[in-house]
């Protein structure tokens, strides 16, 4: 398999893997030009930060100081703001070892960038090994208390085209975070049993909800170590994607792409063209002390790892 990345947004732009017959296809939704990545706000394959997900009214308090962030999602803050990490140019460094190849992207997010406190030194790295595993790693250090929540916003279609309606998903997540109609958590945790979010057994994505998924599910038994959390299979191609992460949340997102959403080869993405499984911390965590904390203090290192493993059946 091959993976392609770009310094703009530390973005994953292509993942080519074979199907059960050995035919290669690109299973990642992506765009054609740097200018399209700059203007598009669907975050295709991008590194999202300084905080992935929504923050209520774009504000949080740290040690008695209230910080106000841009409101770029109605009355709330989303994915780091108007010019979050997904819309900055990172500095790349290529690495080659005996068993894997990789690119480490680095940047400094200045104190006050998009309203966040602290100078934040960040690394986002992609590693492809000889077992068809793509490992994504994040590291961050700060010189003042801040909040950090980084993830990759890749949309996949294991068939390489068409709809993901018949993709079969299994999640090791039996609870989720209910939200209001604007995607803000209401503070509690609910079981997925008996709901349209119950993917504890292999289940087609098109079974319910019109597939309009945009929900945070809690990884079962999360303790900060690397844990298997998801498996997706495409019956047509035989491709299977397995996912493991150190993050506490898998955010399942299957959008209904509106007409005019740019796609590859000058085309458009329509309907349920892809699924996104974002490994991250809970939305609005800075305002929810009952959630896993995203606070980072000087002298500490924030880190997260996600592994995507491709195979066929």
What is the maximum alpha-carbon separation in the chain? 60
Q: Domain extents for the chain?
A: 2-312
Looking at the chain, the whole-number percentage of residues with pLDDT higher than 70 is 99
Confidence of residue 162 (pLDDT cuts 50, 70, 90): very high
CB neighbour list of residue 248: distance below 8 Å, 6 or more residues apart = 218, 219, 222, 224, 281, 282, 292
Encode pLDDT of 247-289 as tens digits. 999 999 999 998 889 999 889 999 899 999 999 999 999 999 9
- Between CA 39 and CA 258 the distance in angstroms is 16
Query: d(Cα 45, Cα 155) in Å, to the nearest integer?
Result: 7
Question: Which of the following CATH numbers is that of domain 2-312: 2.70.98.10, 1.10.1070.20, 1.10.10.10, 1.10.287.70?
Answer: 2.70.98.10
Q: Cα separation of 215 and 180, whole Å?
A: 11
Each residue's pLDDT tens digit, 31-58: 999 999 999 889 999 999 999 999 999 9
Radius of gyration, alpha carbons of the chain? 18
Q: What is the pTM of this model?
A: 0.96
> How many residues are present in the chain?
313
Q: What is the mean pLDDT of the chain?
A: 96
Q: Is the pLDDT of residue 154 over 70?
A: yes
């Amino acid at each position: 398999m091959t993976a392609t990345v770009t310094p703009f947004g530390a973005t994953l732009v292509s993942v080519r893997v074979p199907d059960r017959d050995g035919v290669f296809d690109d299973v990642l939704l992506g765009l054609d030009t740097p200018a399209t990545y700059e203007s598009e706000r669907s975050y295709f394959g991008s590194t999202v930060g300084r905080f992935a997900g929504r923050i209520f009214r774009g504000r949080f308090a740290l040690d008695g100081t209230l910080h106000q962030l841009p409101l770029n999602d109605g009355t709330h803050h989303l994915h780091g703001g108007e010019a979050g990490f997904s819309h900055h140019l990172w500095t790349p460094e290529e690495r080659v070892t005996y068993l894997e190849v990789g690119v480490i992207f680095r940047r400094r997010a200045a104190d006050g960038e998009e309203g966040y406190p602290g100078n934040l030194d960040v690394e986002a790295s992609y590693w492809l090994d000889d077992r068809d595993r793509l490992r994504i790693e994040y590291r961050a250090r700060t010189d003042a208390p801040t909040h950090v929540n980084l993830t990759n916003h890749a949309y996949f279609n294991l068939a390489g085209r068409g709809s993901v309606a018949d993709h079969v998903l299994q999640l090791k997540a039996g609870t989720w975070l209910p939200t209001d109609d604007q995607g803000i958590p209401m503070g509690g945790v609910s079981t997925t049993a008996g709901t349209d979010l119950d993917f504890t057994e292999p289940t087609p994505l098109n079974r319910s909800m019109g597939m309009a998924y945009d929900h945070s599910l809690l990884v079962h038994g999360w303790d900060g170590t690397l844990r298997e959390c998801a498996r997706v299979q495409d019956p047509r191609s035989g491709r299977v994607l397995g996912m493991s992460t150190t993050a506490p949340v898998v955010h399942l997102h299957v959008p209904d792409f509106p007409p005019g959403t740019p796609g590859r080869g000058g085309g458009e993405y329509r309907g349920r063209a892809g699924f996104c499984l974002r490994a991250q911390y809970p939305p609005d965590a800075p305002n929810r002390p009952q959630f896993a904390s995203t606070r980072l203090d000087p002298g500490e290192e924030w880190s997260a790892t996600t592994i995507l493993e491709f195979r066929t059946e």
